Amino acid sequence: TSLADAGQLMLDDKRDCLPVVDESGKLIGLVTVSDYLRLAVRLLKS
């Protein structure tokens, strides 16, 4: 799933985070609303 699709899913489902899994389905991390805010601020400043 792309970052854009994941962000849209978070908005649509009112989620604060989504799991990140590897090819076998093992949890390897989370992407959070804060991650997206940091990215947005970085892009706005550049």
* Tokens representing residue 17 in the block: 């985070």
Tens digit of each residue's pLDDT, the chain (46 residues) = 898 999 999 999 999 999 999 999 999 999 999 999 999 999 999 9
The SS3 call for residue 7 is helix
Contacts for 29-38: CB closer than 8 Å, 24+ residues apart: 31/3, 31/6, 36/7, 36/10
So what's the pLDDT on residue 1? 81
- Bridge partners (DSSP) of residue 29 are 20
Phi-psi region of 44 (alpha: psi -120 to 50; beta: other; left: phi over 0): alpha
